[in-house]
Amino acid sequence: MEHADLELPEPDTKDWTWTVRHRCPECGVAVGELTLRQAAELTDLAAQQWTELLSHGDEAALRARPRPRVWSPTEYAAHVRDVGRVFLTRLDLMLAEDTPSFQDWDQDAAAVAGGYSTLDPRQLAPAVGVSLGAFAARLREVPLGEEQRRGIRSNGSEFTILTLAQYFLHDVVHHLHDVGRPLKV
Ligand SMILES: [Zn+2]
């Protein structure tokens, strides 16, 4: 299927850091009270549900954009896979350095460069599982007392390891909501 004629989605310029303080009115998830362990468990659960959807969902539906400027479930899944990789790098940096600054990551450029719209959902399934699973596993390895280590995003937002984990979890769960498969706990 040829996707080259599709328009790009609207760039996501919203700052989503408020989601670690308030329940998200769109997906209904409140992450601000979660411990690191709980965030890891829920990340694993989200990983299972993404993998299940990509492995067994209707393939045509997984590849279809609901509207021209809204990502297909496969494109969202590729985004989630890459968010997992980017956030694992950030987490490792926070563990290795004192208050590091994160490199910029342009998710819309990543979608184009990664050919998200051409990916095969069945092949993507294990990659999403590995990416989210690796992040969850690293959260479990964070030494006691280290979860308040800090890092700074290029827009100045400050994260701790705990709020990074909460923010990440909201992102992967929110995108399950985006594709019509809200997280089942
Ligand atoms: Zn949300």
State residue 42's pLDDT score.
98
CA of 62 to the centre of ligand 1 (A): 21
Rounded-to-integer distance, Cα 80 and Cα 58, Å? 19
Output the pTM of the full model: 0.90
Ligand 1 centroid to residue 170 C-alpha, Å: 6
- What pLDDT shows up at residue 40? 98
- Phi first, then psi: what are they for 101, rounded to 5°? -95, 135
Question: Tens digit of pLDDT per residue, the chain (185 long)?
Answer: 333 344 545 555 566 778 888 999 999 999 999 999 999 999 999 999 999 999 999 999 999 999 999 999 999 999 999 999 999 999 999 999 999 999 999 999 999 999 999 999 999 999 999 999 999 999 999 999 999 999 999 888 899 999 999 999 999 999 999 999 999 99
* The pLDDT value given to residue 37: 97
Would you state the pLDDT for residue 136?
A: 98
| For the chain, the helix, strand and coil percentages under 3-state DSSP, each to the nearest 5 | 55, 5, 40
SS3 11: coil
Question: Are the CB atoms for 48 and 106 separated by under 8 Å?
Answer: no
Q: What is the Å distance from ligand 1's center to 76 Cα?
A: 14
How far does the centroid of ligand 1 lie from the alpha carbon of residue 175, in Å?
8
pLDDT at 9: 52
Distance from Cα 25 to the centre of ligand 1, integer Å? 7
Domains in the chain, please, with CATH? 30-178 (1.20.120.450)
